[in-house]
């Protein structure tokens, strides 16, 4: 899983996204992730 940073996540433009180092190189088992709080209901 890799970490990416959006300088302005509310501008609906992806040209300000930068890739950073991996969060964890051993893998990930969670099947649903949300990048903004309150966007996933369950």
DSSP letter string, the chain: -EEEEES-TTSS--TTEEEEEES-TT----S---SSTTS---
Spatial separation of the C-alpha atoms in residues 30 and 6, rounded to whole Å: 22
pLDDT at 37: 62
pLDDT at 2: 77
Spatial separation of the C-alpha atoms in residues 14 and 36, rounded to whole Å: 15
Model confidence, pTM: 0.43
Show Cβ contacts of residue 32 under 8 Å, excluding neighbours closer than 6 positions: 40
32: its two tokens: 């649903």
Domain parsing of the chain, residue ranges? 1-42
pLDDT tens across the length of the chain (42 residues): 778 888 888 898 889 988 877 877 777 777 776 676 665 555
């Amino acid at each position: 899983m890799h970490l990416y940073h959006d300088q302005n996540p509310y501008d609906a433009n992806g040209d300000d996204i930068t890739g950073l180092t991996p969060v964890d190189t051993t893998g990930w088992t969670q099947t649903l992730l949300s990048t903004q709080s309150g966007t996933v209901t369950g």
